[in-house]
Chain A
Amino acid sequence: MIDKKTVTSVAKLARLEFPEAQIDAFTDQLNQILGHVEKLGELDTKSISATSHTIEMETPMREDKVVESEVFKQILDQSPAHEDNFFVVPKVL
């Protein structure tokens, strides 16, 4: 079970915010989902290895070659704010 406080700190980590009322609803829903997920606890997985990928392959590697790209122009143009080829963001504080 997770409480409102945990939900609030998880929201902070995820850079999300919710109105007070929604936090309660969210806490309930997350608990419902986690309650369902608890089912996995039934299984003994001590000697089981974890699956990150279903394909058994080595990560491929590319040669160290530069490919020129101009996509930044199109992205800067549609960015929320830009100046002199920089993206512009509000100051930290």
Chain B
Amino acid sequence: MELYELTLSQAAEKLRNKECSSVELTESALKRISETEDKIGAYITQTPELALEQAKKVDQKIAAGEKLASLAGIPIGLKDIFVTKDIRTTCASKILENFIPPYDGTAVSKLKAQEIVLTGKLNMDEFAMGSSTETSFFKQTKNPWNLECIPGGSSGGSAASVAADQCFASLGTDTGGSIRQPAALTGIVGLKPTYGRVSRYGVIAFASSLDQVGPMTKDVRDSALLLQAIAGHDPLDSTSVPKEVPNYSEFLQNDVKGLKVGVPKEYFIDGMDAEVKNAVEAAIKKYEEMGAQIVEVSLPHTEYAVSTYYILAPAEASSNLARYDGIRYGYRSTEAKNLHETFIKSRSEGFGDEVKRRIMLGTFVLSAGYYDAYYLKAQKVRTLIRQDFEQAFQKADVLITPTSPSAAFKLGEKTQDPVQMYLSDIFTINVNLAGLPGMSLPCGFTKSGLPIGMQLIAPAFEEGRLLHAAYAYEQATDWKTRRPSL
């Protein structure tokens, strides 16, 4: 068995037991990257020299008998949305093609404090706008399970890299499903924490009231480990919640007897992909066998979630992306003859079509005369969606749903039809609108061998409950033993 096949926690244990060195783990991951990267295309920027340097440092500390943090010496990748000091950070956009940040974001600082080894910056949809990683300015990332398929998005590089064993885990961000959907489509575990649980400082903003950082890992235990490292209050983020972080590993329990698992009926509709439906229904049965109590719940405003999201997220994005103006950093058009043209041409040449589409949409819904009809209306519907969940959680401890309406689709299949693309987030968007924690984990495969993911949703700040339910299911099934052949 190759070292790169290990999970994060297995690798950490081997390192602790001195069965391998950090340099060996790193070399193994780097070897895997060089073998598979041509096929997968997960990285925008690779940092092999830095990785080996960091690994050596950790090995020296181990040799000196120093006590190390739980993630020390483990190769981890970062979505290229995380601002990294002195390492190019592009957000997969031409407008930031050569941007070298002078600071580290909070999640990155926390991982650095743990002395992780950075494999590089992972591909994504431009400014996280997309569900297939096809809007990246740089490259197309492919699904390790089928190279003709998309890996999901926007954290497609983060998902594919973990699924292909190029790194032991990665960080993604999730605004409408961008961790959970690619995790589902590549057969890994993706957790979007409660809004406010992980700092957004140093995460390039897409939609500020929805964005959240989370772990993308090979299994549930790793998810707990990585979440532990990044969660917690940050005075640099006004929306970070000063709430104590529990020890997440303590929630990794097999016993789900009496756990009330809610099934929202609106998520199991006629006409949905039969293979996905069957897989999730089988998982529900599994929970029942394990002693959980299955209850039907209703989230009546589910059908309005996509519409609400595609008003609120573009509105915030149109404002968040105004700073990319060609004045202080990033791309400036050489065609501009005056100030006005500098703004217009730098932005029009620097942003891709999907980003421009969303800026247009967001600018429109905020503009005079339309604000009440669109933006304010959507904020009110957001309230209704939150209330749905509050009511559902009076009956259930966790909710179970499919993560994505279908398994991975073919490259190019939906790029010409934005609405169809937007609907691939139909099961995940709600969770962001309500600010709740949600998690995707493997629950089966299609006949053609593509992974299927199920989503668990818990009340705010109950990530522990998610990890518990997910861990019990994972232990009772063997989906995670299947790996893509590359």
Contacts and interface: CB of A to CB of B under 8 A. Distances in A.
Chains A and B in contact, CB within 8 Å: yes
Interface of A: 2, 6-7, 10-11, 13-18, 26, 29-30, 32-34, 36-41, 43, 45, 48-55, 57, 59-60, 62, 71, 74-75, 78-81, 87, 89-93
B304 to A, nearest CB: 6
B363 A40 contact: no
Interface residues of B, number: 71
A75 B328 contact: yes
Contacts of A74: 100, 102
A50 B364 contact: no
Contacts of B241: 55, 57
A15 B343 contact: yes
B376 interface: yes
B3 interface: no
Given A39-B304, A54-B434, A59 B364 contact: no
A78 B308 contact: no
Contacts of A93: 338-340
B238 A55 contact: no
12 contacts: A15-B344, A37-B374, A38-B307, A39-B303, A39-B307, A40-B304, A40-B308, A41-B377, A51-B380, A51-B383, A53-B195, A55-B435
B460 interface: yes
Contacts of A50: 376, 379-380, 382-383
B442 interface: no
B318 A40 contact: no
A59 B360 contact: no
B373 to A, nearest CB: 8
Nearest to A60: B238
A91 B361 contact: no
Interface of B: 98-100, 102-103, 195-196, 209, 235, 238-239, 241-242, 301, 303-304, 306-308, 310-311, 318, 322, 325-332, 336-345, 347-348, 351, 356-357, 359-361, 363-364, 367, 374, 376-384, 386, 418-419, 422, 433-436, 460
Contact of A16 (B306, B310, B356, B381): B356
Given A55-B241, A74-B100, 19 more contacts: A14-B360, A16-B347, A18-B348, A26-B360, A37-B307, A37-B310, A39-B304, A45-B381, A45-B384, A49-B383, A50-B379, A51-B379, A52-B209, A57-B241, A60-B238, A71-B103, A79-B329, A80-B332, A93-B338
Contacts of A41: 377
Nearest to B337: A90
B419 A33 contact: yes
A43 to B, nearest CB: 6
Contacts of A33: 310, 361, 418-419, 422
Given A13-B367, A52-B209, A40 B381 contact: yes
Nearest to B345: A17
A49 B376 CA distance: 9
A10 B343 CA distance: 15
B100 A30 contact: no
A14 B363 contact: yes
Contacts of A10: 360, 363-364, 367
A32 B433 CA distance: 22
Q: Please name the 5 residue pairs, one residue from A and one from B, whose CB atoms are nearest each other, closest first.
A: A54-B435, A80-B332, A50-B379, A45-B380, A74-B102
Contacts of A18: 348, 356
A2 B364 contact: yes
A57 to B, nearest CB: 7
Contacts of B235: 60, 62
Given A11-B360, A50-B379, A60-B238, A78 B419 contact: no
B307 A17 contact: no
A55 B193 CA distance: 13
Contact of A29 (B337, B357, B384, B433): B357
A61 B367 CA distance: 31
Contacts of A38: 307
Contact of B338 (A29, A39, A92): A92
Contacts of B328: 75, 79, 87
Given A14-B318, A51-B382, A87-B328, A36 B364 contact: no
A40 B380 CA distance: 10
A52 to B, nearest CB: 6
B329 A43 contact: no
Contacts of B418: 29, 32-33
A75 B211 CA distance: 26
A12 to B, nearest CB: 8
B374 A14 contact: no
Given A15-B325, A48-B384, A55-B239, A6 B344 contact: no
Contacts of A14: 318, 347, 359-360, 363
A60 B344 CA distance: 36
Nearest to B375: A50
Contacts of B433: 54
Contacts of A53: 195, 209, 239, 435
A53 B325 CA distance: 28
A74 B315 CA distance: 31
A42 B419 CA distance: 19
A2 B345 CA distance: 24
A17 B348 contact: yes
